[in-house]
Structure 1
Amino acid sequence: MKKSAIAVLAGVLISGHVLADDAQPKAYLGLNYLAAQYEEDGVDDTLDVGAIFVQLGAQINPYLAGELRVGSGITDDSTTIYGVDASLEIKNLFGGYLKAGIPTGTLVYPYVVAGVSRAEVEVTASSGYYQVSNSDSGSDISYGAGVNLDIADNFAANVEYMQYYDKDGIDISGISFGGQFKF
């Protein structure tokens, strides 16, 4: 089933390149920094972690785009649980999304986004001379909202809030900012 969902999204991206208005850029490549918060039931602290991700998308029409994202963690955060020091890092984050926006006739393009994300996190716990690492991954429905600001014909700045994962007592969400080159 996962392979068929990826095939459908890839088809949407390719058809978007063919069906989009010739006057508008059809595809985009973006780079964003994600300031994420990780919350887990039973852990009092909210951990602030950072990731960077690449976006590859295609504008299907002025209102709809398909997008793939691939990212990796670049900063971790630590807490103490039951006297043990623990740090958490997002190892990787990827997904496929549909974005629906409203062309305003101005430089501002607001949108909503929904899709499926897969995240892998790694926890490293240490106490005295002992250190243990464990990683876990999972997929969930993701959704959010953002805005593009067209700075030039082929470049837009981007700010977005996204709920990436909210399942099994774990919540990963955050705000990202970056830019997109349109071609």
Structure 2
Amino acid sequence: MADLVLRQAESEGSWNMYAARTEVFAEGTSPRGAVSLTRGPGIGGSPEEIANGAECWTVFLRGSPRIVLPRLCTPWYYSRWSLARGVDGELDGVPFRLSGHSALRPSRRAVVVEGVGIDVRIIQRAFSPVLIEQDEQIGLRRSTGWELLEASDLAVMATCLFEWTGAMHFIQTPMIRQL
């Protein structure tokens, strides 16, 4: 059993602000190696994306860029807006979609990474989020952090994005959800 340990390289105040220049915003250690996140100005897009601060997020694993999300909005409130609509990105050149789904029924709440040959979901089971890849549970979030069992590179990076974007909002019960 291996743990995923993440930390923000920036202060909380600058973490939630628009990234005016490309720099490392977060780092971590995982069972698959060192992981880091760079954020920088995004590519144009719709007026809503521009107003909400669309950024280009790049996730590095073992020093090489693996995931690129060119239009993900600033973390927390605005990233929820973009995840609810779905964000297109690339994993090693293969297109995929990152999205969050919220509902009253727990079975319909999830954060999903899907594409050709890509199927990773984070859902709520009992009292904690679980990581599912290809219909097999491979990770569990405890109060001390994530425990990942034989997680693939994609599963590790999807879990990092889940934490960094504040996507926990999608799998929490809507009645007790915080802003």
Q: Which has the higher strand share?
A: 1
- Computing the radius of gyration over CA atoms, which structure comes out larger, 1 or 2? 1
Larger RCO: 1 or 2 (CA < 8 Å, sep 6+): 1
TM-score (norm 2): 0.32
TM-score (norm 1): 0.31
Q: Which has the higher helix share?
A: 2
